[in-house]
Amino acid sequence: MNKRLLSIVTLAFCLLVGGQAFAGDSYFIHTVTKGQGLYSIARMYGVTEAEIIALNPGCEQVIRAGQQLRIPQKSDSSTAHDRQASGGKRFHAIKAGETLYRLTVMYGVSAKEICDANPGLTAENLQAGQVVLIPPSSKGTETTNSSKESQLTVTPVTSNQTKATREISLDQLTKMKDADTKTKASAATAGDCKKMHTVRLFETIYSLSRKYGVSQEALVAANPSLRDGKLKLGQVICIPYTNEELVAMSENEKSPTVKEETVVADAAPVSEEPVSDEDSYIRTPWEGLNVALILPFMLETKNSAASSDQSKMVEYYEGFLLAIDSLKHAGVSINLWVFDSGGAKTSIAPILEGEAMSHMDIIFGPMHASHIAEASKFAQQHRIPLVLPFERDVDQVFENPMIYQVNTPQSYLNSEVFDHFFETFRNPNVLFFGKEGTTPDPFCSALQQELMQRGFSYSTNPADTTSNVSSLMQYCSPSADNVLMLTTSDHDVLSKMLPTFQLMARDTIAEVHLFGYPKYQIYSTSHMDAFYECDTYFYSQFYTNNTLPDAVAFHRLFSRSYMRDIVNRYPKFAILGFDTGYYFLRALSQHPRNFAEQLPRFRCKTIQTGFRFERVNNWAGFINNKVNFIHFSKDGELRKIDFDD
């Protein structure tokens, strides 16, 4: 046998062995979107990075938006036991021409079940390349909801500064726990209902008919127990389809779709006028929003490490209260419950098991990763929006549709900043300066890689104030945007290098700019003149110009309310508390019926924090992708560049 024949036989054998090894598994195609990394993709599909790398050799080196990856999953022939052992998740990549109805036939699940499992999916926005989570069929499955009874512990930070009202008593909230079982038995099944509604305070048959657009007679017909004309607090009733919806469903019987709420984008920043009756069609004005705030005040802990976190959380809470006060003056009624989550090693189960929690309209916090895991599970189970203001690395956002992550994950943040960087500097020539022997900041390393991939050159230089400025000028190009950047955000290094950068800005005929990190806003007070001379840019999610009227007014209000000034941190936690509280509660009060659908389009004025939420994938939560550039221009102007305008 000659060598050529031996090689062919060997190759065929390898392919055969490889095919046999792969025969028990299958894969689907995932198209990488902006900001996604290997870890986040593995997390959203419940597989390991190693499994993805095995099907996509080389992806551990670099992943680009638009790239297609094979994602392993059990084949369609796998047993139900196999799927259950792997978490029970099945995924399907939409092919050209496939419809929602086609998926129902392929997997034996209803269109409603698919759309419920994928809150970001509708029959209208289904398109080739999307990946859809296929839920298990509801037939023969049981859902249990076990919750222990425990005493509610409300922990206010101070007794004289809490301005939130409790218009609904704890006894009334406790009654909400007891569902009307007789009504459940007599009501139409969920399959015949558009949705099941839990009756809240002050709701009537008339208000529900107006809210859902059905007649009072239709509500009573679907719920015979309502013939006496009375609703009970906590009662679960069937909301029937309207005649128009039934006709539409009948006409589209061969291709069933899920009716979607009409989404209308806000054309301009939200008015500060009181909420109108049309906007509050789910809740009557006197009912109010039930809001939970879970923060690690650690009132029983006394050590220096805890003291720093306590100070931040107290400031966040105080800013949050000022937001509530502003919203109350705008006509929004809010009932606030505040809880101390304690240290990271404690469990927040006693808080979550309290009578009030399952009836919250929205939850803010917690901070610690272990507490986030507990709160995420609870929020998903009870379908309550969970706002996470602090943590950047939140695994649950990739699989829980109820999570709203304010602090952007680093890979998503980098992707946004890079797009803005190359929009600002069309032809960049970057000069990096760093200390020898030190590891560059991760953002800096990622930017260097991005420059290479886009075909731009850069140079690395020592961060040494004794360097000859004239020798550095040779790296500048008169036809390029020359960008000076340190490989670290350390203040001492910046202080030493600024004189060198100023000389370069004065002596060159080329365009020179300094590009920096979010922490530069803390340093700006000390280096204002140098920043202007160096035409400085830096990126930030959290920025406030303290000279603007809104910021000045807020600082005065905070000082007057709490008899002290806001601590100069990045971010300023008091303003973070105000911004997150005002933004989310304003949005929820105006769009209670379709909050998740409207939030990506919702806009209102904030002081420090920018918000632009996008769903990670069809079945997961939301990430805040808003980032601005701050520019200290050579002409002496300070600009906040909003790339969404």
Contacts of 304 (CB under 8 A, 6+ apart): none
- Same domain for 207 and 127? no
Range of the domain at 123: 25-134
Asked if residue 523 is part of any domain, the answer here is: yes
- Same domain for 380 and 491? no
CA distance 287 to 173: 12
pLDDT computed for residue 546 by the predictor: 84
Structure-token match 């796998």, residue found: 78
* Cα angle value 23/26/28 (rounded, 5°): 155
Structure-token match 């309310």, residue found: 561
Sheet arrangement for strand 511-516:
458-462, 428-434, 481-486, 511-516, 536-540, 628-632, 638-641
pLDDT computed for residue 148 by the predictor: 33
DSSP code string of 556-598: HHHHHHHSSPPP--SS-HHHHHHHHHHHHHHHHHH-SSSHHHH
- Same domain for 530 and 498? yes
- Same domain for 419 and 399? no
CA distance 320 to 297: 14
pLDDT computed for residue 279 by the predictor: 36
Asked if residue 301 is part of any domain, the answer here is: yes
pLDDT computed for residue 269 by the predictor: 36
- Same domain for 503 and 397? no
Q: What are the two backbone dihedrals, phi and then psi, of residue 533, each rounded to the nearest 5 degrees? A: -65, -35
Domain harbouring 600, CATH code? 3.40.50.2300
- Same domain for 427 and 460? yes
CA distance 258 to 117: 13
Last residue of a domain, one of 235, 251, 267: 251
- The structure's pTM equals 0.73
46: buried, middle or exposed (CB in 10 Å: 19+, 13-18, 0-12)? Answer: middle
- Same domain for 400 and 456? no
Render pLDDT for 235-282 as a digit per residue (tens, 0 to 9): 778 888 776 666 565 555 444 333 333 323 333 333 333 433 333 334
CA distance 63 to 59: 6
Asked if residue 54 is part of any domain, the answer here is: yes
Asked if residue 332 is part of any domain, the answer here is: yes
- Same domain for 375 and 468? no
Asked if residue 178 is part of any domain, the answer here is: yes
Contacts of 565 (CB under 8 A, 6+ apart): 555, 558, 559
- Which residues of the chain carry a pLDDT beneath 70? 1-25, 74-88, 138-192, 201-202, 243-286, 300-306, 466-467
Last residue of a domain, one of 234, 251, 268: 251
- Same domain for 295 and 215? no
Quickly count: other Cβ atoms within 10 Å of residue 475's Cβ.
17
- Same domain for 397 and 415? no
Domain count, the chain: 4
Asked if residue 14 is part of any domain, the answer here is: no
Render pLDDT for 307-316 as a digit per residue (tens, 0 to 9): 778 899 999 9
pLDDT computed for residue 168 by the predictor: 40
Domain harbouring 51, CATH code? 3.10.350.10
Structure tokens at 316: 């966040």
CA distance 572 to 506: 34
Q: What is the amino acid identity at position 555?
A: H
Last residue of a domain, one of 90, 114, 134: 134
- Same domain for 427 and 522? yes
CA distance 594 to 552: 35
Asked if residue 503 is part of any domain, the answer here is: yes
Q: What is the sign, positive or negative, of the torsion defined by CA atoms of 281, 284, 285, 290?
A: negative
pLDDT computed for residue 501 by the predictor: 93
Asked if residue 276 is part of any domain, the answer here is: no
- Same domain for 387 and 421? no
Enter the DSSP assignment of 165.
B
